[in-house]
Amino acid sequence: MPRPTAAQLLYGSCTVIFSTLAMLLLSQTSSGVGIAVIAVAALALGLLVAMTVPLPKARVVAMQQPAAEKAEEPVPVAATGSSKAA
């Protein structure tokens, strides 16, 4: 499994913090079970956001084959004229 990038860590952490605060303020819950459910939901949302951040272009290009290996061999074309002279 590849290591997370700085952008993934930042987006995931911010999502967890802000979604937890928003859900706690909107639900106005004070029970331990409600707070635990909100915390688990916020962690799941943060993980989802962190994993959907696109990878940098350099990594995507590095995984592809070089252009020299992708080139096909030239195919010889048969002559269209007749070899007999009339």
How far lies 44's CA from each of 13, 20, 36, 66, in Å?
11, 11, 12, 38
Model confidence at 78, pLDDT cuts 50, 70, 90, reads confident
The answer, as to whether pTM is greater than 0.95, is no
Delimit the domains of the chain by residue range: 6-62
52 neighbors 15 (Cβ within 8 angstroms): no
Q: What is the pLDDT of residue 54?
A: 76
Mean pLDDT of 19-30: 93
